[in-house]
């Protein structure tokens, strides 16, 4: 188990890389990438069985990013974990890059499925969980959905299937930041009470602070002990978390910090003081 | 004059034919696969009786998964299963899979290059009394536009079984289109069948009739009628609509100088459209497309509907006469 303090520092660096990556790309999704940092850091550093040298390792646990637009957080995590060289991050969304605007499994090591059309990733993950279970494999499958994404009907189809077939090796996380492109989720298309809905679908449900690395780790551990039902972790988060001018603003869903002063400000909010472009030249652990 | 090629070993259809639905061939193919291929999993969406996957459910229950009436979930779940090494065959009516779950097929399966096989039952207007909601007339264009997709429209139950067994051996997405109604069994076990290769069943030099599905039989009957009027028609079974056998089609265009296509589907974007794309760009010749003329069907008996909506041997004959006239 990695110490919480260390995970907090890793999370801070992941946020830094997301901001630099998106400033360099000039387009992409800031808010929903920043909100999911602790969800992924606690998973990849403390729970997931994986090997960056062998992305298709048979004994690996799987991670599926159903909210594909938040791929900057996944790419930052995969680069930090050693799946591909960190310098690839600065090619995001550019021609010939291994990092597409939404995840593509054939381009990026560590990406299990091609996602981005919302509402499909939960089914893909449930299918993988079912396939592994049918073959007697002990692997777990984790999948991160957006909260707005749960407007999609196919999410609830998958919800029925996973419970019906008792996919206790499936752990979904909902990045509950309460914002979607057009505004607050409860104003655009009300979702609450999400925990009650998933309980009614016969899932094991945890509702926790999605920025609390200890709570996230504990929820994942509880999932690993469950022997009957799929698990849904409703991770309450803040869209744009960590960057003062992005927090809780729907407008930062699909916007990026501008090169120069704006991204420098974002880094300052995260406690990084070196000129923003310097972070492209050094390794993950360099803090300036 | 040409005639039926001996090396294709067709049934002597002029003496009478057995009428069997091509979905039966799918069911038999799945049973064979369940006995011979550990990777195969058969999925359905509450239509197991109708699609014949119930044969698998009864004999190999451990290889059958029912997703209930949830096609979008079923398609993406099959994609997920395929990444764990299984070979899922997902099955439901064409309308509900090619239409409703098209985005899952496009993005998760085709873009992600997932090894999923799709059995689309109830293709065509011959679905009959259930009416237009259940008569799938659009899967051919919907599947044909997807990169990486292989699309096969078997002509009869024997060919459907061969196509089903082949699909498991192929790495990548495959769509197999079947019909509900009993249709003439014209091929035999010995009839050549290679996915991606159109098969010339009847030699002829005046016109080429290129069909898929049960309309290959109508094309053969049309060729017999035309022979009596001195027209020598080549008949080609173009069961694989994608990838198209360009060589066989271009040879037909060059040697016959006129083409009529025949399919039980909309005339836009289907086999006719696929053939027209090749012919118009590489060797333009007069061409006509037999199919449904941009309308929805209605309830009725299969035979009544095929006659009313213009997909019988006489319709093919009249289109042939049009292109022969244009050649002059």
Q: In this complex, do B108 and A112 lie within 8 Å of one another by their Cβ atoms?
A: no
Give A7-65 pLDDT, tens digit per residue: 999 999 999 999 999 999 999 999 999 999 999 999 999 999 999 999 999 999 999 99
Question: Which residue among B6, B35, B62, B71 is the active-site one?
Answer: B71
Residues in chain A within 8 Å Cβ distance of B106 = 117
B71: annotated active-site residue: yes
Closest CA to A119 of B309, B248, B75, B213: B75
Q: Which residues in chain B have their CB less than 8 angstroms from residue A119's CB? A: 72
A152, A141, A147, A142: which is closest to A119 by C-alpha?
Answer: A152
Domain termination residue (choose one: B169, B184, B199)? B184
B131 and B214 share one domain: no
Do B206 and B234 reside in the same domain of the chain?
yes
Instruction: Identify whether residues B143 and B54 lie together within a single domain.
Output: yes
CB < 8 Å from B in window 86-145 of A = 104-106, 112-117, 119-121, 123-132, 134-135, 137
* CA separation for the pair A54, A60 (Å, rounded): 9
Low-confidence stretches of chain B (pLDDT < 50) are none
Which of B184, B218, B252 is at the close of a domain? B184
Q: What DSSP assignment string belongs to A205-252?
A: EEEEETT-HHHHHHHHHHHHH--SS-EEEEEE--TTTT-TTTTT-GGG
* Residue B231 belongs to a domain: yes
Query: What pLDDT, on the 0 to 100 scale, is given for residue B1?
Result: 64
Contact across the interface for B85 and A135, Cβ inside 8 Å: yes
Comparing alpha-carbon positions, the chain A residue that sits nearest to B72 is A154
Domain boundary among B155, B184, B213: B184
Q: Is the CB of B148 inside 8 Å of chain A's CB atoms?
A: no
Mean pLDDT of A123-132: 98
Which B positions 58-77 lie with beta carbon below 8 A of chain A? 65, 67-68, 70, 72-73, 75-77
- B109 lies in the same domain as B194: no
**Number of domains comprising chain B:** 2
Q: How far apart are CA A193 and CA A173, in angstroms?
A: 15
Q: Residue for token digits 């974990």? A: A81
- Nearest chain A Cα distance for residue B281, angstroms: 31
Go through chain B and tell me how many residues it has. Answer: 328
Same domain for B159 and B194?
A: no
CATH number of domain containing B177: 3.40.50.970
What is d(CA B169, CA B37) in angstroms, rounded to the nearest whole number? 10
* Residue B170 lies inside a defined structural domain of this protein: yes
Asked if residue B195 and residue B321 are part of one domain, the reply reads: yes
For A144, the enclosing helix (H) or strand (E) is strand A141-146
Determine phi and psi for A256, rounding to 5 degrees.
-125, 155
B175 and B63 housed in the same domain: yes
Assign 3-class secondary structure to chain B. Answer: CCEECHHHCCCCHHHCCCEEEHHHHHHHHHHHHHHHCCCEEEEECCCHHHHCCHHHHHHCHHHEEECCCCHHHHHHHHHHHHCCCCEEEEEEEHHHHHHCCHHHHHHHHHHCCCCCEEEEECECHHHHHHCCCCCECCHHHHHHCCCCCEEECCCCHHHHHHHHHHHHHCCCCEEEECCCCEEECCCCCCCCCCCCCCEEEEECCCEEEEECCCHHHHHHHHHHHHHHCCCCEEEEECCEEECCCHHHHHHHHHHHCCEEEEEEEECCCCHHHHHHHHHHHHCCCCEEEEEECCCCCCCCCHHHHHHHCCCCHHHHHHHHHHHHHHHC
* B173 shares a domain with B27: yes
Same domain, B69 and B204: no
Contact state of A127 with B70 under an 8 Å Cβ cutoff: no
- Shared domain for B59 and B137, answered yes or no, is yes
Predicted confidence (pLDDT) per residue in A147-184, tens digit: 999 999 999 999 999 999 999 999 999 999 999 999 99
- Structure confidence at residue B328 (pLDDT): 87
Q: Which residues of B touch A172 (CB under 8 A)?
A: none
Main-chain phi, psi angles of B35, to 5 degrees: -80, -25
Place of tokens 């399966």: B109
pTM for this model (two decimals)? 0.97
The answer on B10 and B105 residing in a single domain is: no
Q: What is the pLDDT of residue B2?
A: 79
Which residues, 6+ apart, have CB-to-CB distance to B97 below 8 Å? B71, B75, B90, B105, B118, B120, B139
Contact B70 A160 (CB under 8 A): yes
User: Rounded to an integer, what distance in angstroms lies between the CA atom of residue B305 and that of residue B127?
Assistant: 9
Would residue B1 count as lying in a domain?
A: no
Nearest CB partner across the interface for A117, out of B68, B79, B107:
B107
Q: How far is the alpha carbon of B29 from chain A, nearest alpha carbon, in Å? A: 22
Contacts across the A-B interface (CB distance below 8 Å): 104
Rounded to 10 degrees, what is the CA torsion of A96, A98, A103, A108? 150
Does residue B289 sit in the same domain as residue B275?
Answer: yes
Find the residue in B nearest to A58 (Cα). B84
Task: Give the mean pLDDT of A247-266.
Answer: 96
The pLDDT of A70-86, averaged and rounded, is 98
Structural domain range at position B222: 6-16+190-327
């Amino acid at each position: 188990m990695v110490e919480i303090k260390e995970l907090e520092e890793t999370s801070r660096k992941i946020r830094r890389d997301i901001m630099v990556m998106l400033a360099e790309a000039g387009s992409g999704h800031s808010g929903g990438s920043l909100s999911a940092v602790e969800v992924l850091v606690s998973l990849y550093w403390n729970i997931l069985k994986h090997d960056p040298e062998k992305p298709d390792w048979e004994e690996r646990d799987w991670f599926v990013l159903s909210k594909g637009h938040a791929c900057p957080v996944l790419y930052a995590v995969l680069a930090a974990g050693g799946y591909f060289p960190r310098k690839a991050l600065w090619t995001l969304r550019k021609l010939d890059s291994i990092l597409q605007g939404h995840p593509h499994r054939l381009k990026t090591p560590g990406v299990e499925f091609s996602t981005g059309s919302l509402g499909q990733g939960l089914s893909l993950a449930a299918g993988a969980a079912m396939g592994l279970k049918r073959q007697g494999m002990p692997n777990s499958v984790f999948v991160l959905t957006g909260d707005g994404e749960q407007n999609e009907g196919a999410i609830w189809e998958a919800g029925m299937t996973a419970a019906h077939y008792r996919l206790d090796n499936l752990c979904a996380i909902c990045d509950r930041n309460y914002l979607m492109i057009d505004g607050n989720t409860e104003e655009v298309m009300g979702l609450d009470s999400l925990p009650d809905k998933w309980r009614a679908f016969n899932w094991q449900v945890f509702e926790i602070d999605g920025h609390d690395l200890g709570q996230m780790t504990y929820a994942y551990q509880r999932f690993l002990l469950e022997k009957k039902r799929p698990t849904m972790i409703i991770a309450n988060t803040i869209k744009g978390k960590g960057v003062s001018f992005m927090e809780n603003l729907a407008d930062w869903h699909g916007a990026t910090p501008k090169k120069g002063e704006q991204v420098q400000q974002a880094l300052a909010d995260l406690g990084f003081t070196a000129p923003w472009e310097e972070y492209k030249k050094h390794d993950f652990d360099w803090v300036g | 004059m040409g005639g039926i090629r001996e090396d294709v070993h067709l049934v002597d259809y002029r003496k009478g034919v057995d009428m069997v639905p091509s979905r039966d061939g799918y069911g038999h193919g799945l049973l064979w696969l369940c006995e011979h291929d550990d990777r195969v999993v058969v999925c359905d969406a509450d239509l197991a009786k109708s699609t014949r996957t119930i044969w698998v459910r009864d004999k190999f229950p451990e290889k059958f998964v029912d997703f209930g009436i949830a096609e979008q979930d079923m398609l993406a779940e099959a994609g997920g299963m395929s990444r764990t090494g299984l070979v899922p065959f997902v099955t439901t009516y064409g309308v509900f899979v090619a239409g409703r779950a098209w985005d899952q097929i496009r993005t998760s399966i085709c873009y992600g290059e997932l090894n999923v096989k799709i059995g689309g039952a109830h293709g065509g207007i011959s679905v009959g009394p259930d009416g237009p909601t259940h008569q799938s007339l659009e899967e051919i264009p919907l599947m044909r536009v997807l990169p990486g997709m292989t699309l096969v429209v078997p002509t009869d139950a024997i060919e459907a079984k061969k196509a089903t067994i082949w699909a498991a051996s192929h790495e990548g997405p495959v769509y197999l289109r079947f019909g509900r109604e009993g249709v003439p069994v014209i091929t035999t076990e010995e009839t050549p069948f290679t996915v991606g290769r159109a098969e010339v069943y009847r030699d002829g030099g005046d016109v080429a009739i290129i069909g898929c599905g049960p309309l290959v039989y109508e094309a053969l009957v049309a060729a017999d009628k035309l022979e009596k009027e001195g027209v020598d028609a080549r008949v080609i079974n173009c069961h694989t609509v994608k990838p198209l056998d360009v060589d066989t089609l271009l040879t037909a265009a060059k040697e016959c100088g006129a083409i009529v296509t025949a399919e039980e589907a909309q005339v836009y974007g289907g086999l006719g459209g696929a053939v027209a794309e090749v012919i118009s760009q590489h060797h333009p010749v007069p061409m006509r497309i037999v199919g449904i003329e941009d309308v929805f069907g209605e309830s009725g008996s299969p035979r009544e509907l095929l006659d009313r909506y213009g997909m019988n041997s006489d319709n093919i004959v009249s289109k042939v006469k049009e292109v022969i006239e244009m050649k002059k």
